[in-house]
Structure 1
Amino acid sequence: MGVDEISKMEEGIGTSSSFESKDDGTLCASASFVSTTQKVIAEVIGTYFIIFAGCGSVVVNKIYGSVTFPGICVTWGLIVMVMVYSVGHISGGHFNPAVTITFAIFRDFPYWQVPLYIAAQMMGSILASGTLSLVFDVTPDAYFGTVPTGSNLQSLVIEIIITFLLMFVISGVATDNRAIGELAGIAVGMTIMLNVFVAGPVSGASMNPARSIGPAVVRHVYKGLWVYIVGPLIGAIAGAFAYNLIRFTDKPLRELTKSSSFLRSISKNSPSSG
């Protein structure tokens, strides 16, 4: 390295050996690869612990009877909230193929990352289900997957409705910049808790194809599995569509209130004004 190059480095001027993007885009491609890898790993870890804790509470309750149904509901809500706050800023905190696909459909997520996210979510669910099978003596009566207690149609309708609500809430707190982002984890976690309270005894309150497929693959129980793939997909897409229909504007509320009141802004944009 010559004196001129050293002086340039001291002055902060980039040289050919500095960490700048090259014409062939190698560094940019490498940075993108690292970022995507981090997101995929975050989805694996997040999904793993959601299934481990949520399904684990089901297993413990069925074997030892110490958790109770309200405890299961609270566990599902809490673990989702915890993982959203833990890795949501890295991967977006999907943990759910239905959420990932819906975000992609409404252009809130790149299509090329969808297979990677779904693979990560499935891997996390299968690994967690395998862990539970190794740790506990899971009998057929202690199965921690989701099986319709009534008809498949009844569970399908329930899954569509509760996933609609879940995706409606996610769309509000994750895609609308007027929402208070710090409360996203609480809102999503509480929504899941409420859904499990209502739908748990009927369908198992999956709302997530990965949550149902993982235990089914590990324990070889496939009864009504299609319900937990089709239902959440339909519900999630419908929930996001409904929120986008009622979305007032993409501008945050603070921008709407800078020059005039919020009510005045609404009146100006209403068909009856002017």
Structure 2
Amino acid sequence: MTDAPFPRPFLWREPLWRRAVAEVVGTFALVAIGCGAAAVNAATAEATGAGAVTHPGVALAFGLVVFCVIETVGPICGAHLNPAVTVAFALDRRLAWRDVPVYLPAQCLGATAAAYCLLALLGDPAHAGVTRPNAAIGITQIGALLVEAALTCGLMTTVLAVATGPKEKGLLAGLSIGGVVAIEAMAFGPVTGASMNPARSLGPAVAAAEFGDLWLYLVGPTVGAAAAVPLYRLIRPAAVAGS
């Protein structure tokens, strides 16, 4: 136990360039599989009148790919896959701020490359990966902003609980984080897209050239993840002190 107000600095074994490449690969996989499921669902709905993947299938695709990527590249880079997560880890002093300007572009590059691949493969149905408030059920931009902040706060609180430094620890970490992503996507996907991830929203928005609502998905998740840092310290002070 220690009385230090912040966790001990995390010492990486892998060089920063290798971690950046792993973040590119991991975030590419997240968008290719998660947004790809949404795009395939839209394409089959257009062709046959019924989406082959369905909304629960899309939510599960996001959750399962997060789990798989954490288990694959987590030991290398932490598998943040998400600029909001990276910023929150830096705010919690679990990640050096000097690493943030490398992690964030890597995540955005992976997400954008995957979105363009989906566009080349499927055409317009790939635009189903774009996140936007569901105006048909009365969701405003402010409402979407609050929902995304709250969802990401819940996700980041889970991440902080199962992480050692800026890395998830063990099989249950991947299951816990992937499970939260799937549950939140299943419940709130029809409301805002349940992005919880600025890079995941940026890639499809760039590929589709749809930027009107993008700011919601850059600001909301970042604020929500940042808010999770003091929240976790409030509800689990013993765990923080023992880091």
Question: With structure 1 as the length reference, what TM-score do the two structures score?
Answer: 0.76
Give structure 1 stretches of 5+ with no counterpart.
1-31, 253-274
Runs of 4+ aligned structure 1 residues displaced above 2 Å come to: 179-182, 249-252
1:200 and 2:189 are equivalent in the alignment? yes
Larger Rg: 1
Q: CA deviation at 1:246?
A: 2.1
- Match of residue 147 from structure 1: 132
Give structure 2 stretches of 5+ with no counterpart.
1-11, 45-50
Q: CA deviation at 1:184?
A: 0.5
Deviations 1:208-255 (A, max 9, x none): 000111111111001211110110011101112211122214438xxx
1:83 and 2:72 are equivalent in the alignment? no
Matched ranges for 1:36-185 at <5 A = 36-64=16-44, 65-139=51-125, 142-149=127-134, 150-175=139-164, 181-185=170-174
Deviations 1:183-215 (A, max 9, x none): 110000000001101110010000000011111
Cα distance change, pair 172–222 in 1 and its aligned pair in 2 (3 A)? same
The separation in 2 between residues aligned to 1:163 and 1:251, in whole angstroms, is 25
**Higher helix share goes to which structure?**
2
The separation in 1 between residues aligned to 2:82 and 2:125, in whole angstroms, is 27
SS in 2 for 1:226: helix
Deviations 1:100-149 (A, max 9, x none): 01111110001111010001000000100010000002158x53110111
- Match of residue 5 from structure 2: none
The separation in 2 between residues aligned to 1:242 and 1:148, in whole angstroms, is 26
Matched ranges for 1:193-272 at <5 A = 193-247=182-236, 248-249=238-239, 250-251=241-242
The separation in 1 between residues aligned to 2:152 and 2:13, in whole angstroms, is 32
Task: Name the % identity.
Answer: 38
The separation in 1 between residues aligned to 2:171 and 2:65, in whole angstroms, is 17
The separation in 2 between residues aligned to 1:115 and 1:67, in whole angstroms, is 36
SS in 1 for 2:90: helix
- Match of residue 15 from structure 1: none
The separation in 2 between residues aligned to 1:165 and 1:139, in whole angstroms, is 30
- Match of residue 15 from structure 2: 35
Q: CA deviation at 1:166?
A: 0.2
The number of residue pairs the alignment matches comes to 218
The CA RMSD measured in Å over matched residues stands at 1.9
Query: Which amino acid in structure 2 is aligned with residue 124 of structure 1?
Result: G
Deviations 1:16-42 (A, max 9, x none): xxxxxxxxxxxxxxxx99711110000
The separation in 2 between residues aligned to 1:224 and 1:151, in whole angstroms, is 10
Question: With structure 2 as the length reference, what TM-score do the two structures score?
Answer: 0.85
Select the structure with the greater relative contact order (CA < 8 A; seq sep ≥ 6): 2
Query: Which amino acid in structure 2 is aligned with residue 92 of structure 1?
Result: G
